[in-house]
C-alpha cells in the first residue's frame, strides 16, 4: 500500500469536461500528423478529400467549432489506483462532464434512451459508456473516445476458429474494411481486440484505439501484424472518402487477452479520420 490520495469529483468533472471540449474541435497530434502525412502522399481525388479534411481541422480550431457534426457517443476507460479515494461518485462526475461539455461546446446530442422502442433523445448526450479497472498506484487515469456512428456501424465481431490463426485474422479484418468501403469516412483507424470472449474482444478493440498512432505494440509478433494489416488495408485502394487511393487507414492497433482453447474471438472497431480521443491523469 502506498500513500492514499484523495481526488475530488469536482476536479474530475472539470478536467474531463475540458478534455471533451478540446477533443471535439482539435485532433490529437499523432492523428493530425498522420493525416498530414497521408495528404502529402496521395494524388487525384483522394488528395482533394484529405486537403478538405485538413482545411476542416484548421477552421474548426480557429472558430472553436466541432470537427464533425456527429460529435459521437462518449466512451470512458477508467484506471483507478488502489490508493485513490474519491469524495463521491466517479460515474456521476463523468456524467456531469459530458452534459456540461456538450452544452457549452454546442456539440450535437446524439444519444437515444431506448435502442429500439421509441428512440427518444436523452437531450444531454447521456449516458456515456464507462469501463472501470482497478490498478496499482495512487492516480486516476481516464482515456476517452468521442465515437461517431458512421464508422461505428461498420464495426464487426468475428468468432474465428483457432485453427485459422494469423491468416484468418487478416482475412476477417480485410473483409470488414472492404464491406465498409467509404461509409466510415476513410482514412480510418482500426482498433482490434483479440481473445477473451465476444464481449471482451469488443471492449479491447475500443481500448486499442486509445493508443497513439506512432506507438509500437510491446510484443514484436503483434507489432509485425499491425504493420502487415495496415499495409494490406492500404492495398485495398479504397482511399480517402472511398474515392480510391493509397491511404485507406492511418493506423491499426491491437489489444489481446487470453481466451478459451476452442475459440479466437476477434472484434474490429472502425474509427473515422476524425479520431477524437484524449487522456486525463489525476
User: How many other CB atoms sit within 10 Å of the CB of residue 234?
Assistant: 21
Number of domains in the chain: 2
Same domain? For 131 and 262 the reply is no
Helix, strand, or coil here: 99? Answer: helix
pLDDT at 1: 61
Helix, strand, or coil here: 111? Answer: coil
Same domain? For 131 and 180 the reply is no
Sign, CA dihedral 34-37-38-39, equals positive
Same domain? For 157 and 269 the reply is yes
| Cα 78 from Cα 60, distance rounded (Å) | 28
- State pLDDT tens for residues 16-70: 999 999 999 999 999 999 999 999 999 889 999 999 999 999 999 999 999 999 9
Residue 232 within any structural domain of the chain: yes
- State pLDDT tens for residues 197-219: 999 999 999 999 999 999 999 99
Q: Which long-range contacts (CB under 8 A, 24 or more apart) does 123-126 make?
A: 124/98, 124/99, 125/71, 125/73, 125/74, 125/98, 125/99, 126/95, 126/98, 126/99
Residue 52 within any structural domain of the chain: no
Of 91, 124, 147, the last residue of a domain is 147
Select from 282, 69, 281 the least CA-distant residue to 185. Answer: 69
pLDDT at 277 over 80: yes
Task: Match 456540461 to its residue by C-alpha cell.
Answer: 100
- Cross-strand partners of 80: 134, 140
Same domain? For 164 and 130 the reply is no
| Cα 268 from Cα 206, distance rounded (Å) | 8
Same domain? For 243 and 112 the reply is no
Pairing state between β 249-259 and 84-86: unpaired
User: How many other CB atoms sit within 10 Å of the CB of residue 272?
Assistant: 25
Same domain? For 141 and 261 the reply is no
Q: Domain span at residue 129?
A: 5-26+67-147
pLDDT at 43: 86
Sign, CA dihedral 186-191-197-199, equals negative
| CB 201 within 8 Å of CB 157 | yes
Sign, CA dihedral 258-259-264-268, equals negative
| CB 107 within 8 Å of CB 17 | no
- State pLDDT tens for residues 98-146: 999 999 999 999 999 999 999 999 999 999 999 999 999 999 999 999 9
| Cα 108 from Cα 121, distance rounded (Å) | 11
The average confidence (pLDDT) of the chain is 97
Same domain? For 83 and 208 the reply is no
Same domain? For 207 and 264 the reply is yes
Phi, psi for residue 121 in degrees, rounded to 5: -70, 135
- Give pTM, 2 decimals: 0.96
Amino acid at each position: 500500500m502506498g500513500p492514499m490520495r484523495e481526488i475530488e469529483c469536482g476536479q474530475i468533472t472539470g478536467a474531463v469536461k475540458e478534455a471533451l471540449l478540446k477533443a471535439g474541435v482539435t485532433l490529437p497530434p499523432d492523428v493530425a500528423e498522420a493525416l498530414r502525412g497521408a495528404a502529402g502522399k496521395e494524388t487525384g481525388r483522394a488528395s482533394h478529400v484529405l486537403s478538405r479534411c485538413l482545411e476542416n481541422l484548421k477552421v474548426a480550431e480557429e472558430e472553436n467549432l466541432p470537427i464533425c457534426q456527429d460529435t459521437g457517443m462518449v466512451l470512458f476507460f477508467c484506471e483507478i489506483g488502489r490508493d485513490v479515494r474519491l469524495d463521491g461518485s466517479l460515474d456521476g462526475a463523468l456524467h456531469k462532464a459530458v452534459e456540461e461539455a456538450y452544452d457549452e461546446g454546442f456539440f450535437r446530442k446524439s444519444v437515444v434512451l431506448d435502442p429500439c422502442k421509441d428512440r427518444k433523445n436523452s437531450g444531454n448526450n447521456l449516458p456515456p459508456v464507462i469501463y472501470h479497472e482497478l490498478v496499482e498506484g495512487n492516480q486516476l487515469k481516464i482515456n476517452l473516445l468521442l465515437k461517431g456512428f458512421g464508422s461505428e456501424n461498420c464495426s464487426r465481431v468475428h468468432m474465428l476458429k483457432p485453427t485459422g490463426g494469423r491468416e484468418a485474422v487478416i482475412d476477417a479484418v480485410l473483409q470488414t474494411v472492404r464491406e465498409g468501403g467509404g461509409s466510415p469516412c476513410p482514412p480510418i483507424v482500426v482498433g482490434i481486440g483479440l481473445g477473451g470472449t465476444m464481449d471482451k474482444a469488443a471492449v479491447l478493440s475500443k481500448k486499442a484505439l486509445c493508443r497513439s498512432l506512432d506507438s509500437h505494440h510491446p510484443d514484436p509478433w503483434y507489432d509485425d501484424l499491425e504493420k502487415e494489416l495496415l499495409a494490406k488495408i492500404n492495398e485495398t485502394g479504397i482511399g480517402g472518402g472511398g474515392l480510391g487511393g493509397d491511404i485507406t487507414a492511418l493506423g491499426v492497433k491491437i489489444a489481446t487477452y487470453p481466451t478459451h482453447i476452442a475459440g479466437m474471438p476477434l472484434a474490429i472497431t472502425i474509427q473515422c479520420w476524425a479520431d477524437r480521443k484524449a487522456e486525463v491523469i489525476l
